[in-house]
Amino acid sequence: MTAISAAMVKELRAKTGAGMMDCKEALNACDGDMDKAVDHLRKKGLATAAKRAGRALSEGRVQSYIHTGGKLGVMVEINCETDFVARNEDFQEFAKNIAMHIAATNPVGIRAEDVPQEVVAREKEIYRAQALEMGKPEKMVDKIAEGKLSKFFKDNCLMEQAYVKNPEITVADYLNQLIAKIGENITIKRFVRYQIGE
């Protein structure tokens, strides 16, 4: 059994944003293995988020971000269950960080199902044409196109994107960490991104 040091707990907390006791418990459960402890906390966050998913979201905030120079701006609506949470510092910091993330990454939608079908069809057709151009066998073309489409969603859907401030986690992971920490259902409802000349 590996002895869990305060430095290990601190390192895991810096990586995940989870509470001290949760980090210590995860490290104990994973015998001090940092990577396994990160996965353990992510699974725990997902389980907590899933339990809260059905609750009504009638509060929240609209957060704006204007990039230096005023040529790029974002507004994002993030909902929660109570006004108490909407005024919580962690919730407000999350909203600001998500607005900045959207400004930096320009996602097409929040989730894969939000991407317009014509965009999905066009991307798939491009990937099929690329595979055929490379001389790939016809029976492999659709599989290659599906793989590239999956990567397209990962790069262009907000929840699947690597979070800009910590690329080791996705935006969905970041949201689930907040849900686990605060104990309320929270969702990113919608956003709009304006850029001069677009």
Q: What is the pTM of this model?
A: 0.68
Mean pLDDT is lowest, of 37-51, 109-123, 126-140, 152-166, for 37-51
131 and 100 part of one domain: no
pLDDT higher than threshold 90 for residue 62: yes
CATH number at residue 30: 1.10.8.10
Report strand pairing: 187-195 vs 72-80: antiparallel
Tell me how many domains the chain contains: 3
SS3 at position 54: coil
Residue 44's nearest CA partner among 29, 55, 32, 56 is 29
pLDDT higher than threshold 80 for residue 58: no
48 and 130 part of one domain: no
Per-residue pLDDT averaged across 65-73, rounded?
92
Per-residue pLDDT averaged across 179-191, rounded?
89
Q: What is the per-residue pLDDT for 197? A: 83
Q: How far is residue 73 from each of residues 70, 126, 158, 193, measured CA to CA in Å?
A: 7, 30, 16, 6
pLDDT higher than threshold 90 for residue 97: yes
